[in-house]
Chain A
């Protein structure tokens, strides 16, 4: 089986990984590096539980050929938490009861980060659109939307407070 070494920057750390031909970024994260915070399900970019940030964009890591990620900056759920504890989005997911089984939550949080970067003041409708790429079967999404709405408000306030 053809292999090659690919260099990635994952959550700020450089990783040189031996990648098999056709191996996905998701498989590199989970199987090669043992970083199972990023989840696996459909493997065809329909469910979104494998969402990560690649060079600032939210991608379905199941469909990213790991060799195409050479030199990329990757942020996974394991890189979201801040030194002093949970980040605002994580805190809001906990506070609003937005977590049930939790399997989609890493993907949801990555999608929500991407959404809030592009649109810091989303309406509930825009939050629903922004999260529509990640399937959740437990929550009905309502408390997830509550959490993201609260996080957006808090982040805007913090930013304005800082100015």
Chain B
């Protein structure tokens, strides 16, 4: 790839969808409508665990405006799921969490559908509840899924009873290393259940034409929805079209199917288009949230302050369906190990079923949980040893040429640079003088999801460009970033490009808007398409100019050779009339990262792919009496490889930090005995503009090996370090160490009283 021209990439250009978003013209999934559409509402289980004895929908069917009622009897298939097929569209015999869908009503209006819900008579026989991971892990535990053994599952998983995956990361001999260590430390941590908090509720519209299904939904993964819907309704995948209107935020919460199958079931039965949109109460109680984790970590160091061994255990509370929890128990081990060189590791994870709502793949799944434990412990150990926490980190961090926890070769490592830049910006070496004021620092790494992205690129006879990409724009601006790569390589302006995206009928396959991959993977596919466009366009241009094709290159809206040029539009027009058009496909497939399989068991995410590195630092004040925290300055130094569009990268950092401050300081969905205690926005508080501090972003550019121009994954990392960074600073400021999230003023004040 050429790197000398930087006309478009690296520039702060406005995103391609900005204008249609500020005018309200763009249509989101929640806005989508079809003629004659009915509206659905979901009847959910009032019990955390119960057997369904009988469902009688006769009265509901007679209610005003009602078209149909659907239950498990209307779904042709059994169960589905990404790693374990343990999910049903509607509970068949057993409800496994309060909120488990039992039936749905389709009616003229949403209000009529809701009014008919209580008219469906369901007889339940209540069963004992598995409310916590401790209960689920007990030897005599009641099973959340009695038939777990019969479920189809990914072959890497290690399953048993309520444990959907038991993972292990083993390097060297940790026991022997602890025995020979100078000092050994043990700590425990707990993290909280956080909702992604997107402002657009999950919504889908479904429509059937005989055995052909079309679904419009704000999903991050239309191709996954396509195959899932095909399996649920037992029809060929080619009969399912999934089209993605604009997405009103997702953060991983719209990866897995959520409402699409219910809309499709209603539309099928009513023979009318049907829309399902969740209420906020449904969102909080049943959204695909971040798994809470219970973590124990043991760290051994030698007299030179080098880490000689780390051992630990992570219990991941998946809720009633395993979902992404089996992956969190995998990548979580890499996060617990952290970006450090540690010769002996013995870390295990358990993805555990409980009778609570299923969880999901919220932005950097496992990142905040694992990093909170790892980086809080680094701080606690450094302080116990009386050394500077920054120095202790610098002594042990991974550098170029080191091996990762599972044996992967580490290259383009920048954690030292990130730490030093964050420390400098926060004034780490200057003494803190004010009482109640303190600083904290934490570092980490994150993986980028790879797989494949594909595009079709067409240059129209007017020289403008249309791109078909199977990847949705979830809001981050990553599609704009990918189009900046295309514009740069092809020599056009960003405004010349129109994107048709995320429609399984008209766009090529894409692995989806997830895992910090979009800008890099779609960008790489675009660069590949430009090479293929060149192969078609250069011979034509060469003929017009009377030169050889291999002397041609793309200039600004032209093909150039020496001091001659021919407009791109002219070549496209010529190819349209003579050879069917200037159109090419582009593909990118991320190569796998080699690792040592002997070190892992059950780990479905065994490596940190195309790693990014980051360090956060904060300066804050804790009110001596109330425990209230005021953030004075928050700094992020993040290695983005190459900043394709600094504005939107800063946007990811600013937004991610505030979202993670939410997790750290305010947000927790509280389940007690199988019920949510705070299912509304008054009791579940997300940061407002008044709560949010300003964030200083330092973009480190250590070119990586995969993304365009060396770009690394950007979107997920900013939520990883805030919990540990803030916990470390709160301790520095107040002397109180909080090891269970969220860090509320009450916990700080209480800790002070108890002399923590």
Instruction: Write the residues of chain A forming the contact surface with B, with a CB cutoff of 8 angstroms.
Output: 1, 20, 22, 30-31, 34, 36-44, 46-47, 49, 76-78, 80-81, 86, 90, 93-97, 99-106, 109, 127-129, 131-145
**Selected contact of B689 from candidates A34, A93, A145, CB within 8 Å:** A145
A49 and B23 in contact, given A102-B246, A129-B690, A141-B689 (Cβ under 8 angstroms): no
> Of B192-200, B322-330, B349-357, B586-594, which binds chain A?
B192-200
For the complex of A and B, 4 pairs with smallest distance between CB atoms: A37-B24, A101-B475, A103-B248, A102-B21
A contact residues around B688 at 8 Å (CB): 131-133, 135, 141
CB-nearest residue of chain B relative to A136?
A: B199
Chain B residues with CB under 8 Å of A43's CB are 279-280
Q: Are B199 and A97 in contact (CB under 8 A)?
A: no
Residue of B nearest to A141 (CB): B689
Is B31 an interface position by the 8 A CB rule?
yes
Task: List residues of chain A with CB within 8 A of the CB of B21.
Answer: 99, 102, 105
Question: CB distance B680 to A39 under 8 Å?
Answer: no
- Within the assembled complex, what's the spacing in Å between the Cα atoms of A78 and B277? 23
What separation, in Å, do the CA atoms of A128 and B654 have in the docked complex? 15
Residues of B within 8 A of A135 (CB): 197, 199, 681, 686, 688
Minimum distance in angstroms from A31 CB to a CB of chain B: 8
B201 contacts chain A at the CB level, 8 A cutoff? yes
Q: What are 14 contact pairs spanning A and B, CB under 8 A?
A: A39-B28, A41-B199, A42-B280, A77-B23, A94-B18, A95-B14, A99-B18, A99-B22, A100-B651, A102-B21, A102-B248, A103-B248, A132-B688, A137-B655
Contact status B651-A1, CB under 8 Å: no
| Total A-B contacts with CB atoms under 8 angstroms apart | 181
The answer to the question of B385 belonging to the interface, with a C-beta cut-off of 8 Å to chain A, is no
Q: Hey, what's the 0/1 contact readout for B413-426 against A, CB within 8 Å counting as 1?
A: 00000000000000
B681's contact among A20, A46, A86, A131, by CB below 8 Å, is which?
A46
In the assembled complex, which residues on chain A have CB atoms less than 8 Å from the CB atom of B28?
36, 39, 103
What 1/0 flags go to B648-681 for Cβ under 8 Å of A? Answer: 1011001111110000000000000000000011
Q: Is the CB of B654 within 8 A of A140?
A: yes
One of B27, B33, B655, B686 near A100 (C-beta < 8 A): B655
For the complex, give the distance between the alpha carbons of A111 and B26 in Å.
Answer: 19
A101-B474 in contact (CB<8A): yes
Per-position contact with A for B3-36: 1 when CB-CB < 8 Å, else 0?
0000000001011011101111111101101000
- The answer to whether B25 and A37 touch across the interface, beta carbons within 8 angstroms, is yes
By beta carbon, the residue of chain B nearest A100 is: B475
Q: Is the CB of B655 within 8 A of A103?
A: no
Q: B-side interface residues toward A, CB under 8 Å?
A: 12, 14-15, 17-19, 21-28, 30-31, 33, 64, 109, 111, 196-201, 246-251, 277, 279-280, 474-477, 647-648, 650-651, 654-659, 680-682, 686, 688-692, 694-695
A107: shortest Cβ distance to chain B, in Å? Answer: 9
Shortest A134–chain B CB gap in Å is: 8
Give B683 Cβ to nearest chain A Cβ, in Å: 10
**Are A39 and B30 touching (Cβ within 8 A)?**
yes
Chain B residue numbers with a CB within 8 Å of A128 are 689-690, 692
Q: Given A30-B31, A78-B24, A129-B690, are A101 and B650 neighbors across the interface (CB < 8 Å)?
A: no
B663 smallest CB distance to A (angstroms): 12
Cα A30 to Cα B203 with chains together (Å): 15
Q: Within 8 Å CB of A76, what residues of B?
A: 24
B243 to chain A, nearest CB (A): 17
Partner of B475, one of A39, A127, A138: A138
Which among B14, B647, B682 is the interface contact of A46 at CB below 8 angstroms?
Answer: B682
The residue from B31, B247, B280, B690 contacting A101, defined by CB atoms under 8 A apart: B247
Complex Cα distance, B33 from A109, in Å, reads: 25
Q: What separation, in Å, do the CA atoms of A120 and B310 have in the docked complex?
A: 57
Q: Quick one: which of A39, A133, A137, A144 contacts B659, CB cutoff 8 A?
A: A137
A36 in contact with B22 given A47-B199, A101-B474, A137-B655 (CB within 8 Å): no
Besides A129-B690, A135-B686, A138-B476, 18 other CB < 8 A contacts?
Answer: A39-B199, A41-B199, A43-B280, A77-B23, A80-B23, A90-B19, A94-B14, A97-B14, A100-B249, A100-B476, A101-B200, A128-B690, A132-B691, A139-B651, A140-B654, A140-B658, A140-B659, A141-B689
- Residues in A with CB closer than 8 Å to B695 are 140, 142
* Residues A144 and B248 in contact, CB atoms below 8 Å apart: no
Residue among B28, B247, B690 with the highest chain A CB neighbour number at 10 A? B690
Specify which chain B residues have a CB less than 8 angstroms from the CB of A1 in the assembled complex.
64
> For A137, what are the chain B residues with a Cβ–Cβ distance below 8 Å?
196-199, 249, 251, 655, 659, 686
Q: Write the nearest CB–CB distance from B114 to chain A, whole angstroms.
A: 12
Closest residue of chain B to A90 (Cβ to Cβ) is B22
Known: A78-B24, A132-B689. A41 touches B694 (CB 8 A): no
Please name all residues of chain B whose beta carbon is closer than 8 Å to the beta carbon of A80 when the two chains form the complex. 23
Residues of chain B with a CB closer than 8 A to A37's CB = 23-25
Cα–Cα distance between A145 and B692 once the two chains are bound (Å): 11
Cα distance, A62 to B1, chains bound together (Å) = 51
- Tell me which of A40, A46, A81 contacts B30 (CB under 8 A): A40
Question: Complex Cα distance A97/B688, Å?
Answer: 19
